[in-house]
Chains A and B, each alone.
Chain A
Amino acid sequence: MRSLRNKTEVQHRRSIDVGLVLLACVVLPPLTGWAMPDLLSSAHALTLTYGVSLGIAALSLNLLLGYAGQLSLGHAALLGAGAFAASVIVDRFGLPMYVGWAVGGLAGGVVALAIGIPALRLRGLYLALVTLVFGATMQASVLRWRFFTHGSSGASLPRRWWFGDHILINEPIYLSMCLVVLVGVWLVDVNIIRTRLGRAFLAIREDETTAQSFGIDVVRYKLLAFVLSGVMAGIAGALYGGGIGLVTSDEFGRELSLRIVLIVVIGGIGRRWGPVVISVLLAIAPTLPPPFRRYDLVIAAGITLYNVVKLPEGLAGLIAHRRAKPTGPPVDVEQLRELDLAAVAGAAAPLGGGTVLIVHEVSVEFGGLHAVEDVSLRVEPGQIVGIIGPNGAGKSTLFNAISGFVPSTGAVTLDGVPISWAKPHERAAAGLGRTFQNVGLARDQSVRQNILLAQHHFASYSDLAALAYSPSARDVEARLAGLADEVITGLGFEEYADTPVRQLSGGQQRLVELAAVLATGPKLLMLDEPTAGLSPAAAENLAERLRQLRDDRGQTILLIEHNVPLVLDLCDYVYVLSAGQLLAAGTTEELSAMPEILGAYLGGEVFA
């Protein structure tokens, strides 16, 4: 009850803060311009307006590059699309400029969608390549077409504040308006980062495979990031065009695109204040005396290069790095003995009752080489099934085939549903939770963030609700935050809740990964070497916890292990894989009666 009241108080205070900021944005520029025209002349206000619209453009690229890790080199073309669309609306149709801003944002979003669809299906730097070519092409062609942009003379973009001939000429007031829009974009950006959207973006930036294993549709979210970025860029373009009153194609060329990238890198990738402040500084620089004016670009480029190599997060990253805590201690036996995995586990989806997993004649081929050949296996409800085999036997490849990360032939059925054609994120959403040999977590994110990230599928509000942080989204997020607290408490990780995963020990990372996956209530829990990096005593304890999980909750588990005695002790049924093929299978008793198999294929390395 107490915490609930605190929460509403915090929210109340936050909305007062936002209100004060908005009031300051609206009142300060006109007041200063009127009372101290020397300090804020029309020319100064116009420079600041340019800085503010550049700041919105920087937030736009930061969303794409800083959050989702995708690079756009044609951002100026998106600004241009917004500016010319606004010009059509305001100048030709005579509508107020606010409509122009909205349509400008829409235009930026539509253009981003059109470029993003071909470019973002692929992994890698294709978006950077396509946006660069797109920006240059637009500047050479469409933006020069007379009927669209009035050619090189430019299209007029009056500041029509109401229908008819009501044109705003007071520069400080226009600056106020731009500041209000900046605050609005800023708030949306805050909402993005505290909801499912931001978590998905950040996960994609770190590792697309991890993101998929948490059920995130990587292509959809990359596209969403680019479209949102395009909308912001379009609005920035419309505001900028309105500042000058004239839109020409030359304004929206390669130089502007490059400048926006530099601003984000200097200000701090993934930050808000830095890029906005640098935007305003860079807008003011050309109006300063010669030494600044002459070398501003050289300095900016130099700082950028230094930042990229020395401080990958940009200047703002400097502070965060200083705060870094030392590495967490290894997981000790005591901790594992007290661990109650059942308390960590989320509500399990009811099973259909049949076999949980059927793998039928699955093969994986890498360039003519059979990594996995015609492997069939079954996992019954409430069983712990193990896969053992020497290094390079294809165990992890089989896991990847089952969870959809490598293309395979054959059939995979999860709880009666065929999933052979499903993408990895769809398999995850269907109840297939897995861990990775090298820990599939977003390592720069905190423990709490990772557990929330795993809950992606349960953050079931719409994208629009997320952008507005609507009451429904707020409720879901509050519930998920409570759940994350429970998981962290259950794990005994309260002291590491907000520590980046990177700073934990290997064993701790594995536990967090296990907890994050378990908290989604998977129908089948797939563990890739869960005891790697643990001491023998700790490994035994973890095995005991897994057994308890099966007995208490009926959790079905499929695991890969190197530790054969542990597997024989823990598992209800064991498959032996060698050179991509199934060598033997049976219950522990049956396999123990086949020492030649265990000896010949596993003995040396495993029992050592």
Chain B
Amino acid sequence: MAQALVVGLVIGGIYSLFALGIVLIYTGSGVLNFAQAELGTFTLFVAQILVVEHHLPYAVGAAASIALALAIGVTFERLAVWPLLNAPRVTVAVATLALLALAVALEITLFGPVGRNLPPPITGHSVNVIGVFVSPNQIASLVLVALVAGGLAAFFRYTDFGLSVVAAAQDQEALRFLGIPLARASMFTWGLAAVLSALAALLIQPDIGVISPGAYSGIFIRALSAALIGGLGSMRGAFLGGVIVGVGEAAIRHATVGSSLTGLPELCIFAAVVLTLVFRPQGVFGSR
């Protein structure tokens, strides 16, 4: 059980990164970005090709995929989100769906439907920490997630720009008052969310293994659930929601292993989503 919980914590931390991206865009643009996880998958393919086919160092592949994600995120914001600033939010949501479909379609056409493999950056044996085996990759992932989450928290709390991005979510007039162009804040949120997506995809890849088109749609469902449970308007909520979903899922999977009813963890997550909507639509950690 303890082993399962540690794995759940590692995975949950990565859900948190995806969920943070979702919440970031939701607060910034008032829309759910349905391409949040697929963007990471797409750039992961690029990292795989650089590292495996062109024999470049892992770090180069990773950096390239993050840079590509940033470019795609910002471009999408300029081309589709910004022009739709005054359109109904459902229109922007459909635009992110089109991006999702485009990413999947391009993955199938460019990279083929067959799964690819990317060896983990750190090899080595798992370490025994008080009876639980943890792989070096998992430790690295935990540390990185903690660093990113801490860094983001500090950024949004202590820097003027970070504060103003949060303020923009509440009141776009206030942002103009602060002298920071709305356009820059919007571009920043989409760029940052895209970077988080690429990073999270890199981190979760060793746990999933094969990279294939649409492979992370299940992860996205969990991250979206985590964001809703924690609170779509709360970054702290998104982070904690990710951890809760990851650990909860691992615990339930461990407890129901061998059951003839497949998908019980997924059903529990769905139930949690519905219960949150009914009793606390602002999320467990969100405020009205």
Contact = CB atoms under 8 A, between A and B. Distances in A.
Interface of A: 65, 69-71, 73, 118-119, 122, 124-126, 128-130, 132-134, 136-137, 140-142, 144-146, 205, 254-255, 258, 261-262, 265, 294-295, 297-298, 300-302, 304-305, 308-309, 312
A220 B166 CA distance: 34
A144 B266 CA distance: 12
In this complex, which of A144, A262, A295, A298 has the most chain B Cβ atoms within 10 angstroms of its Cβ? Answer: A298
A132 B224 contact: yes
B83 interface: yes
B116 interface: no
B104 interface: yes
Interface in B131-157: none
B84 A309 contact: yes
Contact of B105 (A71, A73, A137, A301): A301
Contacts of B266: 136-137, 140-141
A302 B106 CA distance: 10
Nearest to A124: B89
Contacts of B97: 73, 258, 261-262, 304
A119 B260 CA distance: 30
Interface in B108-138: 108-109
Contacts of B228: 129
B162 interface: no
Nearest to B225: A133
Contacts of A258: 97, 100-101, 104
A124 B277 CA distance: 12
Contact of B263 (A69, A144, A146, A300): A144
Contacts of B109: 294-295, 297-298
Interface string B180-223: 00000000000000000000000000000000001001100100
Given A124-B89, A130-B274, A133-B269, 18 more contacts: A118-B277, A122-B277, A125-B93, A129-B224, A141-B263, A141-B266, A142-B263, A144-B262, A144-B263, A258-B97, A265-B94, A295-B109, A297-B101, A297-B108, A298-B106, A305-B102, A308-B98, A312-B91
Contacts of A294: 109
Interface string B213-255: 0100110010011001000000000000000000000000000
A489 B243 CA distance: 64
B280 to A, nearest CB: 11
Nearest to A265: B94
Contacts, number: 129
A141 B224 contact: no
B221 A132 contact: yes
Given A301-B105, A308-B91, A309-B79, A128 B270 contact: no
A59 B97 CA distance: 19
A142 B261 CA distance: 8
A297 B104 contact: yes
A122 B281 contact: yes
B267 interface: yes
B163 interface: no
B37 to A, nearest CB: 12
B24 to A, nearest CB: 16
A125 B95 contact: no
Contact of A71 (B79, B94, B101, B102): B94
Contacts of A262: 97-98, 101
The 8 closest A-B CB pairs, nearest first, are A141-B263, A297-B105, A301-B101, A301-B102, A305-B98, A140-B263, A304-B98, A137-B270
Interface residues of B, number: 47
B95 A254 contact: no
Contact of B94 (A134, A140, A308): A308
Contact of B277 (A65, A126, A140): A126
A162 to B, nearest CB: 36
A229 to B, nearest CB: 15
B9 interface: no
B59 interface: no
Main secondary structure of the interface of B (DSSP, over half): helix
Contact of B90 (A125, A132, A145): A125
B80 A309 contact: yes
Contacts of A301: 98-99, 101-102, 104-105
B102 A302 contact: yes
Contacts of B106: 298
A309 B98 CA distance: 11
B264 to A, nearest CB: 7
22 contacts: A65-B90, A71-B94, A118-B274, A122-B281, A125-B93, A128-B90, A130-B273, A141-B263, A144-B262, A145-B262, A146-B260, A254-B217, A262-B97, A265-B94, A294-B109, A297-B108, A300-B105, A301-B102, A304-B94, A308-B95, A308-B98, A309-B83
B31 interface: yes
B278 interface: yes
A271 to B, nearest CB: 15
Given A297-B104, A305-B80, A128 B98 contact: no
Contacts of A133: 221, 224-225, 269-270, 273
A141 B262 CA distance: 5
Contacts of B108: 297
Contacts of A295: 109
Contacts of B102: 298, 301-302, 305
Contacts of A300: 101, 105
A129 B32 contact: yes
Given A119-B277, A124-B89, A261 B84 contact: no
Contacts of A65: 90
A354 B261 CA distance: 65
B267 A137 contact: yes
A378 to B, nearest CB: 34
Given A142-B263, A254-B217, A309 B95 contact: yes
Contacts of B80: 305, 308-309
Contacts of B105: 297-298, 300-301
